[in-house]
Amino acid sequence: MKRYLSRHPLFEGETIEGPYLLEGQGFSNENHRFSVNGKHYLLRKFILDDRDRELEFAVQTLAYEKGIAAKPLVLESDSGLMICEFLPGEHKKSLEHGDLKHLARIIRELHTIQITSEPLPLRDLLASESREVTEAFDLLSAYPREIVLCHNDLNPKNILFSDEEVKLIDWEFAGNNDRYFDLAAVSVEFALGKEKEVFFLQQYFKEEKWEQEKLDAYKVIYKALCAEWFQKNT
């Protein structure tokens, strides 16, 4: 892998430190950190080949332009590799009000980005449905769909907190979806109690009114999707 980097036009002739395998690897990618002239980069080697990496790269580029993602530099789909700038920061398992305020702001910013893509077919992604999940989908049919660009995987490992900045990483599941899906993911992943959830939603919606029933339905669906994903990949 170091030989690949040393031959790449971006780094040819430069002294490369690393790459070093990062701790806490996910299921979809193998992540390595390396440095060139004191600047840090991330090299991702794709493990799963059922992702639209071109879409991922394009979305991350748009998110970088909004100031909420690392700058993507190289995508080589045939080689199964991607290089982007490395972001410093901390992954948090629980969030305080200041964290929620900053996170709500960047999610709202993310949801302003426009891409041409079919909405994620959530129901088709489930191999089976419990009665609770069926009821959640039935309930959602009574609400208008609010389709925006979503990250679709807002778990603690994909959110970096640094000073008063928040950045999102791992954009492989990003695509158009109802905005409540991202909001539900945050509530579920960080186990927000009622008070923190209301605060988070206030920061996101500002003067808008939100639908608690719709959010709760998406929380049910998000949990079901996560359960199937981990069962399939562990």
pLDDT tens for each residue of 37-76: 999 999 999 988 788 999 999 999 999 999 999 999 999 9
pLDDT digits (tens, 9 = 90+) for 144-196: 999 999 999 999 999 999 987 999 999 999 999 999 999 999 999 999 999 99
Query: How do residues 103-117 score in pLDDT, each as one tens digit?
Result: 999 999 999 999 999
Strand-pair category, 175-178 with 147-150: antiparallel
Q: Residues 195-207: what's their mean pLDDT? A: 97
Residue with tokens 């049919």: 141
Mean pLDDT of 229-234: 74
Q: Tokens 């949990």 map to which residue?
A: 223
Burial class, 155, CB count within 10 angstroms (exposed 0-12 / middle 13-18 / buried 19+) = middle
Domains and CATH numbers, the chain: 2-85 (3.30.200.20), 97-233 (3.90.1200.10)
φ/ψ (deg, to 5) at 207: -90, -5
Distance, in Å, from the CA atom of 63 to the CA atom of 84, rounded to the nearest integer, reads 13
In whole angstroms, give the CA distance from residue 72 to residue 132.
40
- Percentage of the residues of the chain whose pLDDT score is greater than 90: 84
Query: pLDDT at position 13, please?
Result: 86
Task: State residue 234's pLDDT score.
Answer: 62
Q: Which residues contact 40 (CB under 8 A, 6 or more apart)?
A: 33, 34, 85, 86, 88
Ranking 38-42, 153-157, 213-217, 230-234 by mean pLDDT, the lowest is: 230-234
pTM: 0.94
Q: Say yes or no to pLDDT of 143 above 90.
A: yes
Which residues are CB-contacts of 72 (< 8 A; sequence separation ≥ 6)? 57, 60, 61, 64, 82, 83, 84
In this structure, are residues 46 and 25 in contact, taking their beta carbons and an 8 Å threshold? no
- Other C-beta atoms closer than 10 Å to the C-beta of 28 total 18
